A and B are shown apart, each in its own frame.
Chain A
Amino acid sequence: MNPLLACTGLSMRFGGLIALDNLDLEAREGEILGLVGPNGSGKTTLFNVLTGIYRPSAGTITFAGENIIGGTPQEIHRRGIARTFQRSRLCLDLSVFDNIMIGNHTALRLDFFYNLLHRRAFSRDYEMWRDRAAEMLQALNPSLVCRMFRPVGDLSMIDRRRVEICRALVSRPRLLLLDEPSAGMTHDETRQLMDEITASRMSGGSLTVILIEHEMEVIRRSTSRCVVLNFGRKLCEGDYAHVVADPQVQEAYLGKELE
């Protein structure tokens, strides 16, 4: 089967710094791929390259059979790649619903006539999207539904992550990039959140996920395969047991934890 996402020879240089070095990576349709590696190993850079924020210095990226290099973040999102951010990039002064609808931007009607003058049609659409957002929140945390019109800044860290995940999923992407969803949360919260994501994935059809994570427990529980990066290069690839047994990986990253 063809992979949903394939990168070959991907390199990203910032002046003298090589953030990604000749990286080959594949994500198969429907899998959860773990992406691990020490700080500064290029994980987030890879996400930024995949979503079009950076243009890679060399290499190819094929998504669903088509080249996406050179596409703007907007075009890449329209093709079906959505992401979350390591440092949660929600709009804190906007409401939960607003934040989710930002993720839904491409599905919203944006012409002036409809938005300013055709208010009845607008209200109908608004109610439809409100119900959809409520449904998504219900699946993650029912208590968020009644806080849908409160500013996101009032929410706890885990609830903010949930909103971020709703924002990424509302446009029904084919590939979801999760950048360290556990950052700022306790172990229990992280486990809960990952279970929720896995569960919502089951109901949502064949969503492919690439997950950046430092918590090895999360990687073990949630991913079917992982790729280990170090200094922008792929150290090894395989299932969790294979990866943690790899001596190079132990040296670079896991050594102390396994002792």
Chain B
Amino acid sequence: MNRVAVFFSGLPGCILPALLLLAWSSFFLTAEDQISVFLSLISLAACVIVAVRMRWGNVLRDSIAAHERLWDACLIAIMLALLVLFREDHYSLFLLGTIMAYATAVMGLNVQLGYAGVLNFSCASFFGVGGYTAAMLMAGTGLPPLLTLPLGGAIAALTGCVLLLPVLRTSGHYAALVTMAFALLFRVFLDVSEWFGGPQGIPVAPLTIAGLDFSRGISWGDTEFSFYLKYDLLLLLVLCLAYSLTRRLERSWIGLALDAVRSDEVASACFGINIQRWKITAFTLGNFLSGLAGALYAMMLAYISPANFTFADSLLFLSILLLGGIGNIQGVLVATVLVVIIPEKFQVIQEYRYLIYSALVLLMIVFRPVGLLPRKPRVYTGNPA
């Protein structure tokens, strides 16, 4: 056992789990009938239980912490490998794209709730602001399409400023209510607004970068690649940037200030920390990330409607964060995969998915409030070992 532990604490501790993860996810994504979906879920659960029982979790965690760059590279490689494997499968590529867009949006929510402790029940609305901004800008202006992505984020951040005053003036539950009200208002606003297409929604023009049309597939020799592949690659890039930004933010004096604001406002104020400044920073930055993800997601969908950005979706984003472990961005990745993919694959539960999410969140709050992968104390530099 000891030798096994030593073996796995080195490089193999990163690479083997990564390979397993790749094998499992490719099997899971290809699984068509309910029985193989069920079997693959059972096998995943069995692996996790065995790993926890044998205390491999800590070994794995230490190994990942010691070879952080390698682990990051492994994760990117897994995603690229999946994209290549499913190059012709529109549906799987769309699912992978959704996962990456949602994960980016939840990174933003994580900056708000996980670090600064600003509860935001309208994450999906800001996601939607990004989406609608992209739709309007692509349709109505001659702006370069790539520019609409950061603009989607920026408009979402600006829209968030409307909420800043009430959010800062109130605290705790009341601030949460303000964001809830915003989420509901946003939906109603879209429904009645002719300009934004009303309840039917509006089409979003496809992205073109340097003459490369994102709505067309690529043919390369005999193989035909799905058009989703280009969006997935761009989403992967955006997710990597968001991940790296969030991680650097956490490992900086800014991240420390945000944590201080979350833990104790009075004590923070007595040490010179400007509470409002950091709440505004976190809220705006988080909304920017959500909006950015929303803009790209809307382009991938090609058609958006108010039904994509409801209050229930905001709750979905929140439950991803709760499930993964508030403040832990690795946990966000795991939880997004679970929350997005399981209902898609499990047709039986599709109808009841919000019921299942809420049950899951309740169970988490009662039995494991820190989430699947709890946040660890901060390290300021990579590779601490």
- Could you tell me which A residues sit within 8 Å of B by CB distance? 51-53, 72-74, 77-78, 82-83, 85, 89-95, 98, 101-103, 105-106, 108-110, 112, 115-116, 119, 122-123, 126, 149-151, 167, 171
**Chain A residue with Cβ nearest B245:** A116
List, sorted by A's number, 8 A–B pairs whose CB atoms are closer than 8 Å.
A74-B273, A89-B267, A94-B377, A106-B271, A115-B249, A115-B253, A116-B245, A151-B377
Total number of residue pairs linking A and B with CB closer than 8 Å = 98
- Interchain CA distance A49-B380 in the complex, whole Å: 35
* B283 smallest CB distance to A (angstroms): 15
Given contacts A98-B377, A115-B249, contact A73 B270 (CB under 8 A): yes
- Interchain CA distance A50-B252 in the complex, whole Å: 31
- Interchain CA distance A112-B249 in the complex, whole Å: 9
Q: Besides the contacts A89-B264, A91-B267, what 15 more A-B pairs have beta carbons closer than 8 Å?
A: A53-B270, A72-B269, A73-B266, A89-B266, A90-B267, A91-B259, A94-B259, A94-B377, A94-B378, A98-B259, A102-B256, A102-B268, A105-B268, A149-B379, A151-B377
Question: Would you list the 7 A-B pairs with minimal beta carbon distance, nearest first?
Answer: A91-B263, A115-B252, A73-B269, A89-B267, A77-B272, A108-B253, A106-B272
- Chain A residues, Cβ within 8 Å of B80: none
- Chain B residues, Cβ within 8 Å of A85: 267
Interface residues on B, range: 20 to 34
Is B260 a contact partner of A110 (Cβ separation < 8 A)?
A: no
* B270 smallest CB distance to A (angstroms): 5
- Interchain CA distance A123-B274 in the complex, whole Å: 24
- Interchain CA distance A149-B263 in the complex, whole Å: 17
Given contacts A103-B271, A108-B253, A149-B379, contact A116 B248 (CB under 8 A): yes
- Chain B residues, Cβ within 8 Å of A151: 377
- Interchain CA distance A105-B379 in the complex, whole Å: 17
Q: Indicate if B64 sits at the interface (CB-CB under 8 A).
A: no
Is A77 a contact partner of B381 (Cβ separation < 8 A)?
A: no
* B325 smallest CB distance to A (angstroms): 12
Is A102 a contact partner of B273 (Cβ separation < 8 A)?
A: yes
